[in-house]
Structure 1
Amino acid sequence: MKIFSLNVILLLATCLFIFSSCKEDDEEPTPEPLTVETASNIVGDPIQVDPATGIPSTTGNFTLFSLRENKVIANTDSASTNWDIGFRGTSIIVNGGAIRTGKGGAYIFEGLFDELEEVSEAQVFDEDNSETDLAIPTGSGNGWYNYDPTTHVISPIAGKILVIRTADEKYAKVEIVSYYKNAPADPTTAALEDSRHYTLRYVVQTDGSKKF
């Protein structure tokens, strides 16, 4: 009887161990939280004022930026997939579409940055199909900013988050914090030359999923 009882106990212990091991294997590890990156003073074709004539001018070129690497990419790489978004004045381009090399795209999410936790599988991303048909709409109130004709200030619209599909088909959410150099609290005091300096807050999901 004692031997029988001991065998039963050993059998139960073995089953419990196997069950516990299987349960641990079934539990998915908690993913590490993604890092919120900040990029300051990305210059989007800055305005240069001629000191002799006072006439402002620009180059007309986009400043290309890699969200994946958090750095500006040389314009000589414009035909590559090394960049994800570009800035020129208030216009923002993506590296995807008929006139681009990458597989990027974008749409505007309406809500708070932290509220966007996942991109829907059904979500359609717009692309840059021509210089006048961009994924991110231009013009005051149409996309990410408002223009005040009295103060001439460009202000990011609260609750407008850019969702970017990168050139290599990863996903990022981008909040434009400021359009002015060093992100002043009161941009009405900023000089003309201090405009076109983007400050961004963003997260990139590099594992291929659409979860933030």
Structure 2
Amino acid sequence: MLKSTLTKSVFLFLVICLAAACKKEETLVPVLETKTFSNLYAPQTGGQGQPVGGDFIKFSFLHGTTVTDDSWDVAFRGATILVNGGTLIGIADEPIRTGIGAISIVTNSLDAVKEVPESSTFKQDGANTYAIPTGSDNGWYNYNSTTNLITPLAGKVFVVKTHDGKYAKFEIISYYKDAPTSPDATSLSRYYTFRYVYQPDGTAF
């Protein structure tokens, strides 16, 4: 009788512990980390009146690095940024869109963007249309024709619906190698440094 009672007690204890462990596991919230990616080199050919070309450099927020397959979320060439969603724009050497990605541009600081915006604010690439508009003061940068320098627009955060329907947010820190505080004519351009947060499960940052 005593042995039976002890067996039942041990069994009940194990059940309670297992239930508590499962509940604890269910309530765990993944910690989101703000990361910096430095010196993503995005060269182009042509420009200054000549046809622009060259491969786009693809980046995956899941992997946290550049990729060459279809798992990319955004892609860079010169000052142009594409998203892996929508259709072809109609420019030379652009990658085929294989994902469901889109971008919403938010005016705020990266840390202050806590939630994914309304779905109606998200844009995809399309014929002659960029999710992140090109040109000075239109999308992510200002171009100074006197100094010939590109400066990221302050307070521009890009919330990305990734190629597979997850979310990320990023802000561009610099367009020059090693992100100099005050770039000049000697600074090497087309080297992106940006901060980002990847959200693998949910819509909160």
1:114 paired with 2:103, answer no
Q: What is residue 210 of structure 1 aligned with on the other side?
A: 203
1:64 paired with 2:55, answer no
* Superposition pairs of residues 120-159 of structure 1, within 5 angstroms: 120-130=117-127, 132-159=128-155
Listed one character per residue, the Cα deviations across residues 149-180 of structure 1 (whole Å, up to 9, x for unaligned) are 11111000110011111000111110101000
Query: TM-score, normalised to structure 1's length?
Result: 0.74
Q: What is the deviation of 1:127?
A: 0.3
The whole-number CA distance in structure 2 between the counterparts of 1:120 and 1:42 is: 27
Listed one character per residue, the Cα deviations across residues 87-131 of structure 1 (whole Å, up to 9, x for unaligned) are 01111000000231100000210011111000134443100113x
Gaps of 5+ in 1: 1-24, 49-55
1:168 paired with 2:167, answer no
The whole-number CA distance in structure 2 between the counterparts of 1:161 and 1:113 is: 6
Q: What is residue 38 of structure 2 aligned with on the other side?
A: 40
For residue 81 of structure 2, what is the amino acid of its counterpart?
A: I
Query: TM-score, normalised to structure 2's length?
Result: 0.76
Q: What is residue 85 of structure 2 aligned with on the other side?
A: 96
Q: Conserved in 1, the CA contact under 8 Å of 2:149 and 2:185?
A: no
Q: Conserved in 2, the CA contact under 8 Å of 1:45 and 1:59?
A: no
Q: Conserved in 2, the CA contact under 8 Å of 1:164 and 1:173?
A: yes
Q: What is the deviation of 1:57?
A: 10
Count of aligned positions: 173
Q: What is the deviation of 1:58?
A: 7.3
Moved beyond 6 Å, runs of 4+: none
Q: Secondary structure at the match of 2:111?
A: helix
Q: Superposition RMSD on alpha carbons, in Å?
A: 2.5
Q: What is the deviation of 1:71?
A: 1.2
Gaps of 5+ in 2: 1-22, 89-96
Q: Conserved in 2, the CA contact under 8 Å of 1:180 and 1:190?
A: no
